[in-house]
Structure 1
Amino acid sequence: MDKNEAIQKFLHPESIAIVGVSKDFTSISGKPIKNLIQHQYKGNIYPVNPKYEEIGGYKCYPSLVDIPDSVDVALIAVSAKRMLSIIDQCKQKAIRSIVLFGSGFAEIGEEGSNLQNEVLEKAKEANIHILGPNCVGLLNVHLSLPMGFATSFETNRPFISGPVGFASQSGAIGFSLFGMAQEENIGFSYVVNTGNQMDITTLDVMNYMVKDEQTSIITGYLESIPDGEQFIRLAKAAKEKDKPLIMLKAGRSKLGQKAALSHTASMTGSDETYQAIAKQYGIITVNDIDDLITTVKVFLNQKRAAGNRVVTISNSGAAGIAMADYSEDLQLNMITLTEETKRKVADLIPTYGSAMNPIDVTAQSLKEQHILTDTLKVLLEDTTIESIVFQTTFGGELGFNICKAIAEIDAKTDKPILVTITGTDELTGKGRRYLQQNNIPVYKTSYETMVALSLLVQYSTKTVNDVQVAGENIYHTDEIKERIWTEVKVKHLLTNFGIRTPKGVLINKVDEIETMKVDWDIPKVCKVISSDILHKTDAGGVIVNIQNEQELAVAVKEITESVKKYDKEAQIDGFLVEEMVKQEGVEFFIGVKEDPQFGAIIVCGLGGIFIEVFKDVSLRKAPVSKEDAIEMLMELKGYAVLQGVRGKGSHDIQALARAIEKISHFAANQNGRLKEMDINPLIVLEEGEGVLALDGVIVWDEKIDHLIESL
């Protein structure tokens, strides 16, 4: 039984055993059976506890092996130390799916981690799949089937079913969010808490939801990414099926990462890398529970935005101004209305209103309700408008009637309509709930509305490029002889990619200067070559503007003395004598880092001191296409410098994008052997002139012998 089949069994059991069950229905071990009874579970329930004869009207068994019938799922509410014997019972009884509530595993340290590994190994041998430990349970909302002790299970109201699936490492956050979303009439398909993720992970559950026909929106709370490649495959599959993947990722700060580790034994990974992966593969990221609910609402009616061109209607000029302000920050285009649309709107609204975008229909629409709805109809006819935001403060019957009219109009158009209703629940709640019931995104503030629209636009317009790694690998077994490749070898590599480097000569000692064949009409730069000196300027390893052989000899001597003073153990391999670059350009850098979760990550940004000062960088998982590379560049605050500022012409952005593309394919081809790569500075010359690499270094994985054998 694979994980997908196991999750199907977890969510659709025909029989459930509860091990360690208690007669105290207020306790953690008593709540699971109480919840099953309360929500009228139709399958067979088997309490297991040698202390009791019966619980809740059900016969109680001393152990799992004493149950006379087959069991689909076992809910385990016993101490961690008893788990090995419980696994033996499950194996004997052919129970293949267990939910492990208890803590005391990897989250408590080495002893717990060892026990967790032992339990998992034994479960694998018996073909048993585990949800948990440190788990509060799961819920099949369509079947009103709660399996666990989450507080949200204890409601007397029916669960609202719908298209939203939720997988969460945290039970408290997961089921709290579920309860809050239910209050806003958001229906769910499944809610699953994975806890420590000993076996079944959040990614496994979300992968199941991608394939599930009853789930069209997938949400998750993650403290770690257990498998980076699986995460990317999940994102691609969700995007291909047009199922928004909405993630709340914890552990963004160092303190948060530390807390996550103690919480569920999760290694959260670099948030910077995670955010880049999310952007690259069309994953929607949110900051908290409220944001997640806000985002879910905008996807419930299944509409997509053709682009970012938006128009707003309001009966409040101030609200319109606020939405215009937010739109700029959120990359929404508050477009200028066409003359025809403007004229039609002006004919509908009072003369003291505004037919400009944002449109102000004024409070006169309080008396003449049709002003709002007729204006909405006019805007829907305009093909230049891609989304509409409707804001009102009207409550009571008038507000309710307007909401009914909006719902009728919304049902007849593919364009997204988002509504902001500002006011108390007493006055506006009836209309708001009507819109919710018709899956029209409705919010209480203009900011929430515009954020939701921005995320809808981002998702709708994002194309995920499935870039395949270029097959050719020009690196042979005997080439990786040193862990660190210095500038000379890196530049030779770059020339194979078509990336230019300055003309240069490598010398090993001063005596070789007389035999050099160089053009002294062009000033030279002399740089130390040493695998022990990666930052040459810090060690005094660079001297520029050398005019002749005599000055070069002095430079070599000075560099040698300076480097030895900086690091007396440093091994000097030689001195690179190059032509100084006369062409003006923008200093840039291209880098690669090997991420433990996601593999090779390509990084770029303005070079030189700007890396440390501004930290203006863009990241993607390698490999990337040229189009992806241009998108990376456009994300940078420094992109304007590449385009040309203060009368200077634009620089060769196309050549820079090609360089990023080629280096990314090289990095992806190394299968984890490349630890770091840094091309800095890379001079981006004027448009049509290409790029010029002035320095570079590669650091291979420390296990050189293994690397050479694997090539």
Structure 2
Amino acid sequence: MRSGLDVALNPRSIAVIGASENPNKIGGRPLLYLSRFGYRGKVYPINPKRAEVQGLTTSPSLLDLPEAPEMAIIAVPGAAAVEALDACGKSGVKLALMMSSGFGETEGEDGAARQKDMVARARAQGMRVVGPNSQGLANFGTGAIASFSTMFIEAEPKDGPVGIVSQSGAMSVVPYGLLRGRGIGVRHAHATGNDCDVTVCELAMAVAEDPGVQLLLLYLESIPDPEHLAEAARIARRRGVPVIALKSGRTAAGQAAARSHTGALANEDTVVDAFLEEHGIWRAKDTSDLVMAAEVYLKGWKPEGRRLVAISNSGATCVLAADAATARGLSLEPLAPETREGLGAILPSFAATRNPVDITAALLTNSRLFSEILPVIAKDKAADAFFVGVPVAGAGYDVDAFARDTAAFAEATGKPVVVAAPQPSVAARFKAHGAPVFTGEAEAIQALSQLIGHHELMDRAERRQAGPVANVPARAGETILLNEAESLDFLRTSGIPVVPHRLCRTPKEALAALAELKGPVAVKGCSRDVAHKSELGLVHLGLTTPDEVENAFAACRQALENANASFDGVIVSRMVRGRREMLLGAHRDTVFGPVVVVGEGGKYVEALPDVALLLPPFDQRDVREALARLRIAPVLAGTRGESPVNLDTYCDAAVAVGALMRADDRIVSLDINPFMVGEGADMALDAVVFAVARTGL
């Protein structure tokens, strides 16, 4: 039996409820498209007031049809739309596509309640629903264009290797228009609207399975069902299909706008980043970024590294390409002596043969230079990818030969090659031979860098075998703050090293701890009512004498009394000095589950955050890769003669925190700051744990 998702992509029959004679109305546009673009299934217009629309015989209702259509487009407003949906369920329709608005995207609770009720009735009848507030579904491979978008009139459809799935109607067709303007065919352009039942993530799963799709583009305003998006990414990786997502709602204003647009509840943006990275999905910054590198992706290249060779007939272009490559994390390594020797035998003596390779104006007199030098460079270990810049060419240049030889080289070697050609006539020749062409060197190298980075992301996701979303919710109950002593003891029993310390409830116990711990100590007020101690003057460092410890004890007691906070004692802990203060934290996201935070710690972590997020399970290698992307990475790696910081214990602790958050649903969140690293002082110095009350923690 065909599922609702199968029907969404390839319905065998379609009814249009609210069918119109006017092709410029919502109920008329789908009929126009189904006829114009070659849909081969049965079409049933439903209109009780007309005998015929657009040359097709109408029926007054679904009950008058000879069969139950697989899909029904609902293009009537308000209460009539709800009645039509109920009729579809009773008639045996497998999928209802609701173009009608006025439900979950509206202000107030009434619209959301109506939406929830009607979906429940539909599901009870075994019917799936796309929408409401959907612009429609479009499969150009089958001609099933169940959409009212004007874009398909403005930009003539052509079946192709790109799939687009969006919650927004506009963002299902704007990328389509941009791609068609560049001559790229599109197979799917679907808009799910409010995602009341079939979600954008579910539909992405179905599109990812389509063997004709080689690139999948998503527009997301929320991710309410990350398990389906994770599965879509897994399917796509299995097929070698890159997935690029534009997730809006990065700001509070954007999140509010998303809520009013599709009724979407925004996700925490930093967690979205971590989730997409976890599953090998590249996150675009804006609409143009979503489609910018499409031609490069569709070549099917599998980059093997980040070493770039830049070639141009302009020294300035070589310099600009080097700058752009460095900014994008691509390296221009010197070519091997034997490579330079081979180039020297081809190029004039005044040409630069290091990297970038400046072939100068010699290109004017020898149109075969590209075909002669590219095979020589391709053998060099420094050549994982190529940039070719042709800023100026025209009369006297055999541009067609340049383009033909460059494209043939890329085809023969399988190595990525991008071209920058600002002159339209030159760009047209390279494009005609199938080479990805961009206006400038920065844009070309950005696209190449994205391709390389995205494949690295997909490879990491495969190595980690990113699986289902591990959303382990916290146990039900009131959340309480454990005091620092309780927090440190809990972490210690969970396998995380903590600073030697003693909880002291009297000055006498504090003095005994000073003697036992031998050396400078820290004295900190301990209270289950206080998460941040420094603001209240509860932290006293570097104490060495009994008088200093007694005075600190009294000051902590008084400060807690002044703050109306419980006095649970003071913590006397050994002063520990290492190389760096790090942060290690975790919390439970309501959608994505446990999230672990790693990065630089210390006093200013909130003002100057330098952290990365990881979704468990992960291993030590994943932690190291996350830390390598931080601003602090060069310091941790060793600089100005310093040795690298040993992060083994810290990375193990991060893995342990991830495992703890998955295994123990009593923990709501935890914060270790600082976790000292280096010089053998690898341990948590301070910790705050929030847990569910009365669970025996």
Q: TM-score range by the shorter chain?
A: over 0.9
Q: Contact between 1:224 and 1:269, CA under 8 Å: does it hold in 2?
A: yes
1:338-361: per-residue Cα shift (whole Å, max 9, x none)? Answer: 111112222222333221211111
Could you tell me how far apart the structure 2 residues matched to 1:60 and 1:461 are? 54
Relative to 1, partners in 2 of residues 1:512 and 1:495: Cα closer, same or farther, differing over 3 Å? closer
Deviation of 1:68 (Å): 2.1
Corresponding residue of 2:249: 251
Relative to 1, partners in 2 of residues 1:228 and 1:446: Cα closer, same or farther, differing over 3 Å? same
Deviation of 1:579 (Å): 2.3
Corresponding residue of 1:652: 646
1:557-636 equivalence runs, <5 A = 557-565=554-562, 567-568=563-564, 570-581=565-576, 583-636=577-630
Q: Contact between 2:343 and 2:353, CA under 8 Å: does it hold in 1?
A: yes
Deviates more, 1:166-175 or 1:286-295: 286-295
Q: Name which of 661, 673, 688 aligns with 1:697.
A: 688
- The reply to whether residue 544 of structure 1 matches residue 535 of structure 2 is no
Relative to 1, partners in 2 of residues 1:612 and 1:516: Cα closer, same or farther, differing over 3 Å? closer
Secondary structure, counterpart of 2:355 in structure 1: coil
- The reply to whether residue 134 of structure 1 matches residue 133 of structure 2 is yes
Relative to 1, partners in 2 of residues 1:467 and 1:603: Cα closer, same or farther, differing over 3 Å? farther
Q: Name which of 533, 555, 566 aligns with 2:530.
A: 533
Structure 1 unaligned regions, length at least 5: 470-476
Q: Aligned partner of 2:626: which letter?
A: M
Could you tell me how far apart the structure 1 residues matched to 2:40 and 2:499 are? 77
Q: Contact between 1:520 and 1:548, CA under 8 Å: does it hold in 2?
A: no
Deviation of 1:429 (Å): 5.2
Corresponding residue of 1:408: 408
1:382-531 equivalence runs, <5 A = 382-392=380-390, 393-394=392-393, 398-424=398-424, 427-428=425-426, 430-435=428-433, 438=434, 440-462=435-457, 463-464=460-461, 465-466=463-464, 483-510=480-507, 512-513=509-510, 518-519=515-516, 521-531=518-528
Corresponding residue of 1:14: 12
1:306-332: per-residue Cα shift (whole Å, max 9, x none)? Answer: 000110111222111111101111110
Q: Aligned partner of 1:680: which letter?
A: N
Deviation of 1:573 (Å): 1.6
Corresponding residue of 1:682: 675
Secondary structure, counterpart of 2:50 in structure 1: coil
Deviation of 1:193 (Å): 0.8
Corresponding residue of 1:54: 52
1:94-109 equivalence runs, <5 A = 94-109=92-107
1:406-456: per-residue Cα shift (whole Å, max 9, x none)? Answer: 2223222221122222213xx235314413xx3x32222211111111111
1:523-546: per-residue Cα shift (whole Å, max 9, x none)? Answer: 332211111111111111122333
Could you tell me how far apart the structure 2 residues matched to 1:645 and 1:129 are? 59
Secondary structure, counterpart of 2:628 in structure 1: helix
- The reply to whether residue 554 of structure 1 matches residue 551 of structure 2 is yes
Q: Aligned partner of 2:133: which letter?
A: N
Q: Contact between 1:83 and 1:119, CA under 8 Å: does it hold in 2?
A: no
Q: Aligned partner of 1:400: which letter?
A: D
Corresponding residue of 1:149: 148
Deviates more, 1:411-420 or 1:305-314: 411-420
Corresponding residue of 2:664: 670
Deviation of 1:61 (Å): 1.2
1:629-653: per-residue Cα shift (whole Å, max 9, x none)? Answer: 1111111111233234444433222
Q: Aligned partner of 1:597: which letter?
A: V
1:466-487: per-residue Cα shift (whole Å, max 9, x none)? Answer: 3799xxxxxxx9xx99722222
- Number of residue pairs the alignment of both structures matches: 683
Deviation of 1:690 (Å): 5.0
Q: Aligned partner of 2:321: which letter?
A: M
Deviation of 1:670 (Å): 2.9
- The reply to whether residue 163 of structure 1 matches residue 161 of structure 2 is yes
Deviates more, 1:138-147 or 1:492-501: 492-501
Corresponding residue of 1:472: none
Q: Aligned partner of 1:451: which letter?
A: Q
Corresponding residue of 2:31: 33
Q: Contact between 1:467 and 1:625, CA under 8 Å: does it hold in 2?
A: no
Secondary structure, counterpart of 1:483 in structure 2: strand
Q: Contact between 1:151 and 1:175, CA under 8 Å: does it hold in 2?
A: no
Could you tell me how far apart the structure 1 residues matched to 2:548 and 2:134 are? 72
TM-score, structure 1 as length reference: 0.91
Could you tell me how far apart the structure 1 residues matched to 2:524 and 2:366 are? 79
Secondary structure, counterpart of 2:15 in structure 1: strand
Relative to 1, partners in 2 of residues 1:550 and 1:365: Cα closer, same or farther, differing over 3 Å? closer
1:70-109 equivalence runs, <5 A = 70-109=68-107
Relative to 1, partners in 2 of residues 1:501 and 1:145: Cα closer, same or farther, differing over 3 Å? closer
Q: Aligned partner of 1:145: which letter?
A: A
Could you tell me how far apart the structure 1 residues matched to 2:136 and 2:575 are? 66
Could you tell me how far apart the structure 2 residues matched to 1:520 and 1:42 are? 83
Could you tell me how far apart the structure 2 residues matched to 1:41 and 1:520 are? 81
Could you tell me how far apart the structure 1 residues matched to 2:155 and 2:279 are? 40
Could you tell me how far apart the structure 2 residues matched to 1:363 and 1:349 are? 11
Relative to 1, partners in 2 of residues 1:615 and 1:492: Cα closer, same or farther, differing over 3 Å? same
Relative to 1, partners in 2 of residues 1:294 and 1:517: Cα closer, same or farther, differing over 3 Å? closer
Q: Aligned partner of 2:685: which letter?
A: L
Q: Aligned partner of 1:349: which letter?
A: L
Corresponding residue of 2:470: none
Relative to 1, partners in 2 of residues 1:357 and 1:156: Cα closer, same or farther, differing over 3 Å? closer
Could you tell me how far apart the structure 2 residues matched to 1:128 and 1:395 are? 61
Deviates more, 1:27-36 or 1:324-333: 27-36
Q: Name which of 292, 317, 322 aligns with 1:294.
A: 292
Deviation of 1:685 (Å): 2.1
Could you tell me how far apart the structure 2 residues matched to 1:482 and 1:461 are? 40
Q: Aligned partner of 2:689: which letter?
A: I
Deviation of 1:221 (Å): 0.7
Secondary structure, counterpart of 2:246 in structure 1: strand
1:172-251 equivalence runs, <5 A = 172-251=170-249
1:74-95: per-residue Cα shift (whole Å, max 9, x none)? Answer: 1110113223321231123211
1:145-173: per-residue Cα shift (whole Å, max 9, x none)? Answer: 3111111222584x322221110111112
Q: Aligned partner of 2:411: which letter?
A: A
Secondary structure, counterpart of 1:533 in structure 2: coil
Deviation of 1:123 (Å): 0.8
Secondary structure, counterpart of 1:680 in structure 2: strand
Q: Contact between 2:141 and 2:187, CA under 8 Å: does it hold in 1?
A: yes
Corresponding residue of 2:472: none
Secondary structure, counterpart of 2:566 in structure 1: coil
Q: Contact between 1:136 and 1:171, CA under 8 Å: does it hold in 2?
A: yes
Deviation of 1:668 (Å): 2.3
